């Protein structure tokens, strides 16, 4: 009986070792990473385009879906970057993090504008859609002026995703708002 138990234990260890070796040998799918990078670039550009919205009209119809997609894509980029590191592809991990930084910065800037303009949200990150938000026009130039310096500061800190977002939100805060 103990021989069978010992034998099945050795077989189980062999199966696990084989599975681990084959999992380590599987190439990391760069296709998923390429799609995520492309999506993140398009979303970041679209979100930066919302920085021109002064609030004199209700938010654009695509505002909420774009902001939600940006947050979701940011999570995907973080997971893929971690996976690239696990599969020993530091170049790909850096590219994913660079794109995540761009998307995160665009999201943080838009969030800072809305927060400091006291734009009410129906469901975060969606501002109340039926009304204009004229206070955006007041705060917009101040936040946009601070953005390049805040990006340089975050780049110099070489902060992780969450730390970079916290640093950017703090840096973009306009005194008195």
Strand partners, 67: none
Distance of CA 169 to the CA centre of its chain: 14
Query: For residues 88 and 28, what is the distance between their CA atoms, to the nearest angstrom?
Result: 9
Question: What's the mean pLDDT in 42-54?
Answer: 95
Nearest to 110 by CA among 123, 127, 98: 127
Indicate the range of 11-15, 30-34, 67-71, 85-89 predicted with least confidence.
11-15
Phi, psi of 172 (to 5 degrees): -80, -10
Helix (H) or strand (E) holding 122: strand 121-123
| pLDDT at residue 177 in the model | 62
Distance of CA 52 to the CA centre of its chain: 21
| Under 8 Å between Cβ of 48 and 108 | no
Question: What's the mean pLDDT in 75-85?
Answer: 92
Residue 95, SS3? helix
| pLDDT at residue 6 in the model | 40
| pLDDT at residue 27 in the model | 54
Q: Hey, where are the domains in the chain?
A: 29-171
Given a cut of 90, whether residue 25 has pLDDT beyond it is: no
| Under 8 Å between Cβ of 51 and 110 | yes
| Under 8 Å between Cβ of 87 and 28 | yes
Question: What's the mean pLDDT in 49-72?
Answer: 93
Query: For residues 110 and 168, what is the distance between their CA atoms, to the nearest angstrom?
Result: 11
Helix (H) or strand (E) holding 1: none
Question: pTM for the full model?
Answer: 0.78
């Amino acid at each position: 009986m103990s021989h069978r138990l010992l034998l099945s234990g050795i077989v189980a260890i062999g199966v696990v070792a084989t599975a681990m070796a084959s999992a380590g040998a599987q190439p990391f799918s760069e296709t998923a990473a390429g799609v995520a990078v492309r999506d993140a670039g398009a979303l970041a550009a679209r979100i930066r385009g919302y920085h021109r919205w002064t609030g004199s009209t209700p938010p654009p119809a695509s505002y909420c879906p774009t902001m939600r997609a940006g947050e979701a894509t940011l999570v995907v980029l973080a997971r893929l970057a971690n996976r690239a590191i696990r599969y020993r592809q530091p170049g790909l991990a850096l590219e994913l993090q660079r794109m995540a930084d761009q998307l995160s910065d665009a999201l943080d800037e838009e969030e800072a504008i809305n927060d400091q303009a006291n734009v009410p949200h129906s469901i975060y990150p969606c501002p109340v859609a039926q009304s204009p938000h004229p206070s955006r026009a007041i705060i917009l130039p101040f936040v946009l002026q601070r953005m390049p310096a805040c990006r340089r500061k975050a780049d110099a800190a070489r902060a992780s995703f969450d730390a970079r977002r916290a640093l950017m939100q703090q840096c973009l805060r306009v005194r008195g708002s």
